Amino acid sequence: MRFVALRACVMGFMMVSVISILSTTQLVLAEDGKQGFGGIDEGKWVLGMRAGFAPVTQTISEVPGFRTSTDVGSLVNVQAMYSLNKWLLAGMMLEWERHAVDQERPFGDLGHQDTVSVLPTVEVRPVRFGPIIPYANMSFGVNVNSFGESSATRISPSNTFAWRLGWGADYMLTKQFALNTEMAYKRNDGHATVNGDLNNDWNASSFGFLFGAKLFF
């Protein structure tokens, strides 16, 4: 029930954020009419550095007798993108995520899972509203998972296929510097070996909420 409520809160936050972005862009458009096709000049490099938090979308393990609980994890994201034209970019994203994992019954601190995601990415920026540039991106790659144990329980999660869908906005302070916020869903669903036994229900998929800055040159 806790994860159902968390998922509902996350989805509600996303809906409110999208509505706020749309309302802001409509206001900018109504005030000064500075809408333009394409959100970036062709041939630009974009470097981004963001950090934030990431709640998992469900319990990592729901196997009877080995049900886990997980905290809201830390999240760090770096990216390098290149604009192919006024609305399409391609590049690479690296993302690190950590979640503490506890066993529920009997309760015990199992340790933490680290995930490093290597994510080739495409991004679309179809429009610009004054200093605000909304965008959406999609990534396919690999999640490299590892586990740091805090107990005698030995856990080895598998590496998994990564699929990430993100949307956000840049607020341009100058032509070279922008503040950024982004939300994303990332799939990280695989299996783990627990004390030598295979656990096929090991799902660390998450929602990510990022805040940071970008350089354009």
Identify any residues that bridge with 160 across adjacent strands, giving them in sequence order: 143
How confident is the model at residue 38, as a pLDDT?
Answer: 87
How confident is the model at residue 25, as a pLDDT?
Answer: 46
Q: Over the stretch 155-206, which tens digit does the pLDDT of each residue have?
A: 999 999 999 999 999 999 999 999 999 999 999 999 999 999 999 999 999 9
Of the candidates 148, 186, 147, 146, which has an alpha carbon nearest to the alpha carbon of residue 166? 186
User: Which DSSP helix (H) or strand (E) runs through 20?
Assistant: helix 2-32
pLDDT above 70: percentage of residues in the chain: 83
- What does the angle CA 22 – CA 26 – CA 27 come to, to the nearest 5 degrees? 120
Q: Over the stretch 10-65, which tens digit does the pLDDT of each residue have?
A: 555 554 454 444 444 444 444 444 566 788 999 999 999 999 999 999 989 988 88
Please tell me the distance from the alpha carbon of residue 213 to that of residue 58, in angstroms, as a whole number: 30
How confident is the model at residue 30, as a pLDDT?
Answer: 44
> Residue 9: is its pLDDT beyond 60?
no
- Res. 151 pLDDT band, cuts 50 70 90: confident
Please tell me the distance from the alpha carbon of residue 21 to that of residue 24, in angstroms, as a whole number: 5
Domains by residue range for the chain, with CATH? 2-216 (2.40.160.20)
Please tell me the distance from the alpha carbon of residue 39 to that of residue 135, in angstroms, as a whole number: 8
Please tell me the distance from the alpha carbon of residue 33 to that of residue 44, in angstroms, as a whole number: 25
CB of 165 within 8 A of CB of 182? no
- Res. 118 pLDDT band, cuts 50 70 90: very high
